[in-house]
C-alpha cells in the first residue's frame, strides 16, 4: 500500500509538471517569408577563374618541352594559322622515339615468350589428360596444370595489351 501511495505521488508530480509546462507554453512565434510564384527564365552560368585576354593577343605554349633552335617570328608580329613560329631541337625527341621503339621491340619478345610458355602448358595439359584417362596421374595434377595454362593464356593477352599501349605511345612520339 505504501508503494502504491509513493507511485501515485510521483505520477501526480510528473503530471503536474507536464500540465504546468503546457499551461505556461512557449509563446514564441515562427517567422515565415513568402513570395508570389511567377514564371521566369533560368539562365545557365558557369563559374570559372583565370585571366581575361583580348582576342587580338594569344599566349602560345608548346605541348612539349625542348630547346628552341630557331625562332621565325618577332614579338608582336602578326601571324597566320599554321605558320611555323619556332623550331625545337630534335635530339631529345629522336631519343624518346628510340626508347619507345625499344619498348615495342621488347614487348614483342615478351609476347613470343608468353606464347611459347602457353603452348608448352597446353602440350603438357594434353599429355596429363591422357595420363589421367589411363589413371596414371590424379585429377589434382590435371587441375593444377589447367590453372597454370589459364594463367599463361592470360599473360599472353596482357602482353598483347601492353604492346598496343607501347605502339600508341610510339605513334604519338613520332
The three cell numbers of residue 70 are 630557331
Start-to-end CA distance of the chain, whole Å, equals 102
pLDDT tens by residue, 94-116: 888 888 888 889 899 999 999 99
pLDDT tens by residue, 45-86: 666 566 655 556 666 676 767 778 888 888 878 888 888 888
Look up the pTM and report it. 0.49
Residues 60/85, Cβ–Cβ less than 8 Å:
yes
Number of structural domains, the chain?
1
Residue 154 lies in a domain: yes
Full domain range(s) for residue 151:
95-173
Q: Using DSSP bridges, classify how beta strands 68-71 and 86-88 pair: parallel, antiparallel or unpaired.
A: antiparallel
Average pLDDT, the chain: 82
Q: How far is CA 163 from CA 103, 111, 129, 160, in A?
A: 8, 8, 33, 5
The three cell numbers of residue 47 are 563559374
Q: What angle do CA 15, 18, 24 make, to 5 degrees?
A: 135
Element holding 115 (H helix, E strand) = helix 91-133
Residue 138 lies in a domain: yes
Residue 12 lies in a domain: no
Ramachandran bin of 48, using left for φ above 0, alpha for ψ from -120 to 50, beta for the remaining angles: beta
Residue 156 lies in a domain: yes
pLDDT tens by residue, 152-173: 999 999 999 999 898 888 888 7
Residue 99 lies in a domain: yes
Q: CB within 8 A of 146, min separation 6: which ones?
A: 125
pLDDT score, position 17: 78
Residue 87 lies in a domain: no
pLDDT score, position 159: 92
Highest mean pLDDT among 17-31, 50-64, 75-89, 127-141: 127-141
Residue 109 lies in a domain: yes
Residue 144 lies in a domain: yes
Q: Which residue did the predictor score with more confidence, 143 or 23?
A: 143
Amino acid at each position: 500500500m505504501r508503494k502504491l501511495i509513493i507511485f501515485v505521488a510521483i505520477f501526480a508530480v510528473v503530471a503536474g509538471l507536464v500540465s504546468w509546462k503546457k499551461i505556461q507554453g512557449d509563446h514564441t512565434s515562427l517567422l515565415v517569408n513568402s513570395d508570389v510564384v511567377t514564371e521566369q527564365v533560368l539562365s545557365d552560368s558557369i563559374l570559372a577563374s583565370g585571366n581575361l585576354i583580348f582576342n587580338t593577343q594569344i599566349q602560345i605554349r608548346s605541348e612539349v618541352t625542348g630547346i628552341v633552335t630557331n625562332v621565325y617570328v618577332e614579338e608582336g608580329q602578326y601571324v597566320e594559322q599554321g605558320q611555323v613560329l619556332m623550331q625545337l631541337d630534335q635530339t631529345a625527341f629522336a631519343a624518346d622515339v628510340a626508347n619507345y621503339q625499344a619498348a615495342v621491340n621488347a614487348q614483342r619478345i615478351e609476347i613470343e615468350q608468353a606464347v611459347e610458355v602457353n603452348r608448352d602448358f597446353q602440350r603438357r595439359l594434353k599429355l596429363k589428360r591422357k595420363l589421367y584417362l589411363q589413371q596414371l596421374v590424379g585429377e589434382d595434377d590435371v587441375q593444377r596444370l589447367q590453372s597454370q595454362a589459364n594463367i599463361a593464356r592470360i599473360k599472353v593477352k596482357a602482353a598483347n595489351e601492353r604492346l598496343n599501349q607501347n605502339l600508341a605511345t610510339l605513334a604519338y612520339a613520332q
